[in-house]
Amino acid sequence: MKSAALKSATVKNETVNATVKRLTLIILFVAFCAPSSSAKAVRYLTGDAADVRPRLHGPAYDFAGGGTDVAEALQWMIDEVRGCAACDAKLDVVILRASGEAGYNDFIYKMRGVDSVETLVIKSREDAEEPGVAETVRAAEVVFFAGGDQCNYVKFFKGDAVERAVESVVARGGGVGGTSAGLAVMGEVSYDACSGGSERSETALRNPYHADITFTYDFFNWKPLRGAITDTHFVERDRLGRLLVFLARQIRDGKYRRILGVAVERETSLVVDKKGKARVMGKGPAYFILADHRPEVCEPGVPLTYSNYKVWRVAGGGTFDLARRPATGYYTISVERGRLSGDPYRAAPPRANAP
């Protein structure tokens, strides 16, 4: 009987051991194959990995409204930074994005004066804090933010080493820009879209405090866009109404006494030199909209009323001085109980004098 009992116990132990081994293998397999919870920044490099250190002549900016990129504007920014259109000076370009792949690399690498293009795909705050990411950005001469979701840029970069690295590029005379979501974070005030949706004009005009309207302050503080908020895909997606609300909110909430909206249409870029002179390139137009007094009505759940926003509409090839913002040449648009007073996208005869 003892022998039979011992034999039975041995069989049971072997069965348990085999089961444990199988479970261990399954756990190891799942752990190996499952996506990592600590994903790393993905890098795509085109060109020479060695760092170049040319003399820089900027800063220069390329603020793009989304859609097809304006090659002329990107080339302008590169040439402004290297100080020439036809010389041997070359730059390293870094593309920052929170989704996608290396779509910009070949496109920009073929431009004059480009030594390398490196795309960094950052999908978390941890990715942004990975050793070497900020150093790569800091070593660049031009940094460009791709489109996507601007809330990701706010969550991943605001207040960290990547933000400081981008600022250091501009401080030493480099270039910075962005398209669509990449432009949305360039103003001193950003509509961050962190509530989970993209605000529509009609909804914002009906309720200036709609839950989808959230802002981030002082992410970047570029000199040409101080006291400004940006918007993109402007006419294409009928976004003027929401921008009017964004501006009114800043004054009603006590953030600013006056604030400028800078809005760029699809397939359009607003390039800005170190003196603050802006030029519209591509399809056009760009709009500059000034709110300079308190709204008559701007309350939660109540349609907006605001009289006489000043609007400058600048077609492709036109210019606007962001350093010395003009006091003439605008037309006006008002909002009465959530309704616009006219078609704000159509050019109107400029007024001869400011009131």
pLDDT tens profile 222-260: 999 999 999 999 999 999 999 999 999 999 999 999 999
Of 174, 165, 155, 202, which is closest to residue 113 (Cα–Cα)?
Answer: 174
Q: Are 298 and 213 in contact, with CB atoms under 8 Å apart?
A: no
The end-to-end CA distance of the chain, in Å, is 111
- Round to whole Å and give the CA distance between 345 and 319: 18
> Average pLDDT of 330-351?
82
- Round to whole Å and give the CA distance between 185 and 172: 21
> Which pTM value belongs to this model?
0.85
Three-class DSSP category at 188: coil
What is the model's pLDDT at position 343? 85
What is the model's pLDDT at position 174? 98
Residue type, 278: A
Of 57, 115, 113, which is closest to residue 85 (Cα–Cα)?
Answer: 113
Residue type, 109: Y
The one-character DSSP state at 55 is -
Three-class DSSP category at 216: strand
User: Per-residue pLDDT tens for 176-224?
Assistant: 999 999 999 999 999 999 987 789 999 999 999 999 999 999 999 999 9
Tokens of 263: 């809005």
The one-character DSSP state at 247 is H
